[in-house]
Structure 1
Amino acid sequence: MIMNYYRNIDRSKVQFDFLVHYNEPGAYDEEIIRLGGKIFIMPKTVPHNYFIYRKSLEHFFKEHSEYKIVHGHLTSTAFMYLKIAKKYGVKCCIAHAHNTNVPRNIKGFIEKESKKLMLKYTDRLFSCSDAAAKFYFGEKIINTRGYNVLNNAIDSSEFIYNEKDREMIRQVLELEGKFVIGHIGRFETQKNHKYLLNIFRKIVNRKSNSVLLLIGKGPLEEEVKQKVHEMKLDKNVIFMGVRSDIPLLLQGMDVFVLPSLYEGLGIVLIEAQAAGLKCFASSSIPSEAKITDLVTFISLENSTEYWADEILKYYNGYNRKNCQKEIEESGYEIKSEVSNLEEFYIKA
């Protein structure tokens, strides 16, 4: 989402630099540098690093007084970096809500408990959906202070369905004659991969030529791979890793499945619709993500058999339509939406 805006914003007027919390190379590092951005690395945000992290933030903002805006997308430590940014004269501090829940671990606990502190040092509130705003900021705050919904906009022209691209990528990945189910998401509890695998097993039991593409990386990847092996689905599940050719991979899929436990919005659902894919998503995902008639929401309380039944209704194919107009009319076209953010930054 951030990169979509960065690619399309007028960088002669607004430039993004990035404060990140990883040592290993990121998927977008080279592109950021090519677009004129800088990347500054902070220590990892784990509890035992608290004082080192704080000291690093103090040093950074003391040395870099040129920044007028800090747009915080990492809410778990926003109470700290926004406070320090304010201390060193940052004019506009933004907290941006991207989710409708937090993980059930120490990081999630800290994130939940630190929200009130975060709000003390925040000038503006942003979110990817109304549901995310209500969860992170609370109804009382958003009713008194207001907030901006910044749509997880995409360049819809990159995703328009193309039969030749579909044939090509399916040939490259050796998927001809396969029923291809796609999922894009980081391997973490929120994305509910184990439930997805249980759905997929029901599908494979009925249609043995089914294939599941899992795109992404994350801390639970090895655990998911082990689960695939235990379920004897090794030949049917392909782990794709982090990919830069998402629009092309979507062309090769037959359906898209997103059974997340929660999402702030689910930008991958917007992208899948832009590619004309029939999508099956958990009812935990905000309704704003449904911008075409291609999305079917299903409760996670339904059986995996029910999910499989619904998905297999499209086993024999369907017409992949061009949804570009619907993307634009719903406010998810980046070329239109980027001007709103650009204007905000300039006036802030």
Structure 2
Amino acid sequence: MRGGGVEAVVMNYYRHVDRSCVQFDFLVDEDSTIVPRDEIESLGGRVFEVPPYQRLPRYTRELEILFRAERWPIVHSHVNALSVFPLRAAKRARVPIRIAHSHSTSGRGEHAKNAMKAVLKRLSNLYPTKRFACSEYAGEWLFGKGASFDVVYNAIDLQAFSFSASVRAEARSELGLVGDTFAIGHLGRFMAQKNQAFLVDVFAELARTRPDSVLVFAGDGDSRPLVELRAAERGVADKVMFLGQREDANRLYQAFDAFALPSLYEGLCLVGVEAQRAGLPCLLSDAITREVDVTGTCEFLPVGDPKAWAAALSQIAEAPARDRSLSKHERLRFDDYDIEKAAPKLVACYEHLASEAKRAASA
């Protein structure tokens, strides 16, 4: 757990499931940097730390010991291609229900990581008894075309992300955004996949013609110092804000005028759904599945062409101000992403799987 999108998805579901029917315990690597332990424990869950997966023999051995000791009926793995390892340990420990959940894919530039993923993908169907994915694209990527899997949407609290003019005014004031300052927002963990350094290059192009613009980053991670250095090198450090890890994403979206996500790859991208719900114009990498385009208004651009992104942002900045409140028809498009509806579906799925496993064991 490092404060990324997958963690946000899991916690969204955990907050909204009926915990009198289903309770979550969390198994996290010891090198996790952002574990909401207090919240998890306040909701009745427990946190178990295991060695990081890079120490593979210890990682799998300690997982198997835990699985045998705790006798969880369901192990739901959210580590994408790496799910091979915890689910293998779960099978050895005779855990009856083993769920592999695909949240991501692969992209250009990460050669060593992609080579490892290519090997693990071949084993991805050996150990799960059930397969989930955040999108059709992510499911086919991990499990293969024609494989059986269920799409479990990256659901959110829709009301929390709905546009509010009063919240916008407050959030912009808190960030020091005055007047018509054009604010481009980005939320995400600082890592190669998210391609934030490219976004700084985009902003440097935009700032030449739009000096009244700012770029706002929310999130943290290993590559943040490199992105900060890039902002200084491009001469825009005074116009780029690094907010660090935030717990008020819903308020931040209100303060922005556009949202940009130039990721090299994504399974779906939770932040794209959140930004659209807040009524924001969204510029997304063309490596991201079009399934994320809930409103039909997202623009997909190639990474590697900062001028094209800067031109698209400039068009947004120059367009007349529009009402960001969604119409009833637009709001209906988000039904699949409504956590109030999605959480009970997940509980029902767990209960059905558990019931089937009990019947099979008694047969």
Does residue 318 of structure 1 match 2:326?
no
Paired position in structure 2 for 1:306: 308
After TM superposition, the structure 1 stretch with the greater mean CA deviation from structure 2, 76-85 or 321-330, is 321-330
Pick from 16, 21, 32 the counterpart of residue 24 of structure 2: 16
Paired position in structure 1 for 2:242: 239
Structure 1 letter corresponding to 2:25: D
Paired position in structure 1 for 2:59: 53
Structure 2 letter corresponding to 1:36: G
**Consecutive unaligned residues in structure 1, runs of 5 or more:** none
Structure 2 letter corresponding to 1:75: N
Query: Percent identity between the aligned chains?
Result: 34
- The 3-state SS of whatever aligns with 1:2 is helix
Does residue 115 of structure 1 match 2:115?
no
Paired position in structure 1 for 2:199: 196
**Consecutive unaligned residues in structure 2, runs of 5 or more:** 1-8, 354-363
Supply the distance in 2 between the matched residues of 1:32 and 1:9 (Cα, whole angstroms). Answer: 13
Structure 2 letter corresponding to 1:104: E
Q: Please state how far the C-alpha of 1:194 moved relative to its aligned partner.
A: 1.8
Pick from 326, 332, 352 the counterpart of residue 347 of structure 1: 352
Q: Relative to 1, partners in 2 of residues 1:105 and 1:18: Cα closer, same or farther, differing over 3 Å?
A: farther
CA RMSD of aligned residues (A): 1.8
Supply the distance in 2 between the matched residues of 1:255 and 1:318 (Cα, whole angstroms). Answer: 12
Pick from 269, 274, 277 the counterpart of residue 277 of structure 2: 274
Q: Relative to 1, partners in 2 of residues 1:4 and 1:194: Cα closer, same or farther, differing over 3 Å?
A: same
Contact 1:254/1:278 (CA < 8 Å) preserved in 2?
Answer: yes
Q: Please state how far the C-alpha of 1:54 moved relative to its aligned partner.
A: 2.3
Contact 1:273/1:323 (CA < 8 Å) preserved in 2?
Answer: no
Pick from 273, 296, 299 the counterpart of residue 296 of structure 1: 299
Paired position in structure 2 for 1:98: 103
Q: Relative to 1, partners in 2 of residues 1:288 and 1:24: Cα closer, same or farther, differing over 3 Å?
A: closer
Contact 2:266/2:289 (CA < 8 Å) preserved in 1?
Answer: yes
Q: Please state how far the C-alpha of 1:318 moved relative to its aligned partner.
A: 2.5
- Correspondences of 1:137-286 after superposition (within 5 Å): 137-140=143-146, 142=147, 146-177=148-179, 178-286=181-289
Paired position in structure 1 for 2:358: none
Paired position in structure 1 for 2:11: 3
Aligned length: 340
Contact 1:327/1:333 (CA < 8 Å) preserved in 2?
Answer: no
Does residue 334 of structure 1 match 2:339?
yes
Paired position in structure 2 for 1:136: 142
- The 3-state SS of whatever aligns with 2:66 is helix
Pick from 47, 50, 74 the counterpart of residue 69 of structure 1: 74
Q: Under a length normalisation based on structure 2, what TM-score does the superposition of the two structures give?
A: 0.89
Q: Relative to 1, partners in 2 of residues 1:34 and 1:324: Cα closer, same or farther, differing over 3 Å?
A: farther
Contact 1:157/1:324 (CA < 8 Å) preserved in 2?
Answer: no
Paired position in structure 1 for 2:357: none
**Alpha-carbon displacement from aligned partner over 1:3-40 (angstroms, at most 9, x marks no partner):** 11111110100111111113455252221111111111
Contact 1:283/1:297 (CA < 8 Å) preserved in 2?
Answer: yes
Supply the distance in 1 between the matched residues of 2:331 and 2:290 (Cα, whole angstroms). Answer: 15
Q: Please state how far the C-alpha of 1:272 moved relative to its aligned partner.
A: 0.3
Q: Please state how far the C-alpha of 1:332 moved relative to its aligned partner.
A: 1.1
**Alpha-carbon displacement from aligned partner over 1:42-71 (angstroms, at most 9, x marks no partner):** 11122xx12221222122122211x01111
Contact 1:156/1:327 (CA < 8 Å) preserved in 2?
Answer: no
Structure 2 letter corresponding to 1:121: Y
Supply the distance in 2 between the matched residues of 1:153 and 1:250 (Cα, whole angstroms). Answer: 17
Contact 1:256/1:278 (CA < 8 Å) preserved in 2?
Answer: yes
Contact 2:81/2:124 (CA < 8 Å) preserved in 1?
Answer: no
Supply the distance in 2 between the matched residues of 1:152 and 1:164 (Cα, whole angstroms). Answer: 27
**Alpha-carbon displacement from aligned partner over 1:198-239 (angstroms, at most 9, x marks no partner):** 111111111112111111111111111111111121111111
Q: Under a length normalisation based on structure 1, what TM-score does the superposition of the two structures give?
A: 0.93
- The 3-state SS of whatever aligns with 1:314 is helix
Q: Please state how far the C-alpha of 1:116 moved relative to its aligned partner.
A: 2.6
After TM superposition, the structure 1 stretch with the greater mean CA deviation from structure 2, 106-115 or 242-251, is 106-115
Structure 2 letter corresponding to 1:118: S
Supply the distance in 1 between the matched residues of 2:161 and 2:51 (Cα, whole angstroms). Answer: 36
Contact 2:183/2:216 (CA < 8 Å) preserved in 1?
Answer: yes
After TM superposition, the structure 1 stretch with the greater mean CA deviation from structure 2, 325-334 or 4-13, is 325-334
Supply the distance in 1 between the matched residues of 2:154 and 2:47 (Cα, whole angstroms). Answer: 22
Contact 1:68/1:92 (CA < 8 Å) preserved in 2?
Answer: yes
Structure 1 letter corresponding to 2:170: M
Does residue 78 of structure 1 match 2:83?
yes
Supply the distance in 2 between the matched residues of 1:19 and 1:323 (Cα, whole angstroms). Answer: 41
